[in-house]
Every structure is written in structure tokens, then in C-alpha cells.
Amino acid sequence: MNRGSLGNSGGRADAGITDPERMDVETLFASRQQIVNMEYTKLGRSDLVVSRIGFGCEQLGGFDWGEVDTDSVILAVHRALEIGINFFDTADVYGLGRSEEMLAHALGPQRKDVVIATKFGVNWRTKRNSRRALTFLDCSPRRVTEALEGSLRRLKIDCIPLYQIHWPDAKTSIGSTLNALTRCQREGKIRYIGCSNFPLGLLVEAVGYCSMSSAQFLYNLIDRTAENDVLPFCKERNVSVLIYGALAHGLLTGKYVPGTKFPANDRRSRLSIFTPGGLADRYPVIKRLQDVASRYEMTPTQVAIRWILENPAISCVITGVKTAEQIEENVGALGWQLSQRDRESMTGVAGTMPEGSSSVESKNA
């Protein structure tokens, strides 16, 4: 992998460095080569080369994840740059624009060298005297233009490397949405187009209109719905698959036990998998992850991510991050392999779990 493929992205995690404009790219490029052998992949038929571990930026929005120390997330962005991560995924609705603004600040001048992916399609109206907003799906041509201009302004870039439809909008034909996106592409404001959360039928229709570089899906050890249809289709059509929800909101880290309480401002307080019964039902999977992790001297987090990375249909795992330590742990999923026996063992136990979504992609803001 040559330096151009890495995008020359850099950053410092040193506590004394607070201004991202002062990042020393040459020094950091050399240092990160000593830290990790990052793995990269090309997205679909595009010329975008991205790290196989992506940085999920929803936490930079500072909302719906409990108490979030934004400064710690910014330091995590710097650490990610140091260890070779060059792919950052956000959305306009995360924090009602705040995630994009904070990502631009954290990346500093490197925002023009890394691969930033953002999303649109969940519009919002603010509520009086409330931190929450009323959200609704909107992929209309008018919203395409409006949302794109807002994201460009907040991210402080002239062209978005990967612009994704966040959720399909049943009120708007996919053709009109994609026509609007391809117009923006011709204007030089978008390099490549992707989608997220598309069912197979809509995905088939979408690739008939334009070249779709990527498709993003929820997928993890306890929610393997994507295996049924969209993963095989994307592999056949050379649409790169980006995965979110790899750790099922942290459930697969093994940190949470029946009785764990989450504050009201943490979405996990609203998810059935984190009820005492939901955690108890899924304990066999967590226990198997812990057993496998101990044999490899890895953590359950690393094993859960590794299990996904070894699926040949998957290009990149986007991991939500709050701290530098978390991104370092996630990157530890690279550079080794699970035995076939261990893969089958984990998959087999997961197959006995009760059905139910571990969805982490809230449309609430």
C-alpha cells in the first residue's frame, strides 16, 4: 500500500496538542507504520481506498449515548489517524449536524485527505424546549440539494467522497433521488454514491439507475439478517458492504450483565436486548465469545469484529467510538484469523438465539 492510498492522513493523540492544524503528517505517517499493519480495501468500482476498520462518528454528535466527553472522542479521531484509519462515517442527523461539525474540527486540514462518508435522508424539525427533534424520512430532490449543501458547509470541504442515502423514503421514488444525486455528482459536489439500510428489492432497483459504490447494513453475530439476500447480491455486483452495529450496542463486548441500567439519555435504555431477559437470553453467545477470546489472547470485542471481517462479502466494519482506547482495541481485530472450528462454534451458538433486532441505527435525534 503506497502513501497516496493512505491519503496522508495524520493526527496527534498527545494531550498537549489541542490544535489539529498543527498535525505533523510526515512524523505521524512514520509512527503509525510502527503501531499497526492497517488493512485497506477499494470501495466497489470507485478509486476510494479505505481502512477495513472505519470510525463511526455518531458519538461526536453528543446525543443518545449517555454522557459523552466530546474531547475524548476528538482525541480518538487523532489516535485513529495515527494508526492508519482513513475512513470516517457520519450523518447529517447525528446531533442535528453537530457530528459533522466536530469531525471537521477534529480532522483539521486532514479532512481533505481522508475518506469522509456522510448520509442524508433523515430530515428533522426541532422541538421547542427539548433536546430531541422530530425526525422524518425525506429523500426528495429538494432535500438532496439542501442536505448536501449543509453537510459540505459543516464538514468544510468542497466535495464529499462518499454520499449515502441513510434510509429509504417510501414517499419518494428511488429514481428521482438518484437523479438528483447524479446531478450533484456531475457538479463536483459528490465523488461517489452509496446507500444504507436498503432492502434487496430497492437495492436491485438502485443499481439499475447508477453506479452504487457501497451499501451499509446492520450485521453482527446475533443479527445476521443481511446474510439472507443483500450480502450475496452486493458481492455479485461488486458493491462494497460497510457494516454498522458490529458489537450490537456494546452487548458483544461482554461488559453488560442482566440488571445493567442505562440512563434515559442512552438509547440502550430503550432496546429489548438490554432488558434483563434480553441479556440473559444472549448470554450463551457472550460466553462463547469470551471463551474464544481467551484462547487467542484477544478481547470479545476483537473476536466479534474479526468474525465479521472474515466474511468475504464485507469490505469494512464501522465501529462507534468514544475513546482512543476503544479504537485501539477495535483495530486489534486485524492481522490474525479465527480457526474454522471457532467460527462455526460461535455461529452455531448465535443461531440458537431468539429472533429480534439489535438495531443500533436510530432514526431519532
Q: Give tens-digit pLDDT for 279-291.
A: 888 999 999 999 9
pLDDT, position 12: 30
Regarding predicted confidence, which is higher, 10 or 346? 346
Show which residues are catalytic: 94
Does residue 177 lie in a domain region? yes
Residue type, 263: P
Phi, psi of 131 (to 5 degrees): -80, -15
Does residue 355 lie in a domain region? no
Does residue 325 lie in a domain region? yes
pTM reported for the whole predicted model: 0.87
Residue 23 in this model has a pLDDT that exceeds 70: no
Does residue 13 lie in a domain region? no
Residue 11 in this model has a pLDDT that exceeds 60: no
pLDDT, position 291: 97
Give the CATH number of the domain where residue 308 resides: 3.20.20.100
pLDDT in tens, 66-109: 677 889 999 999 999 999 999 999 999 999 999 999 999 999 99
Which pLDDT band holds residue 36 (cuts at 50, 70, 90)?
Answer: low
Domain span holding position 274: 32-350
**Total count of domains within the chain:** 1
pLDDT in tens, 292-348: 999 999 999 999 999 999 999 999 999 999 999 999 999 999 999 999 999 999 999
Residue 267 in this model has a pLDDT that exceeds 70: yes
Does residue 302 lie in a domain region? yes
Does residue 264 lie in a domain region? yes
Does residue 7 lie in a domain region? no
Does residue 18 lie in a domain region? no
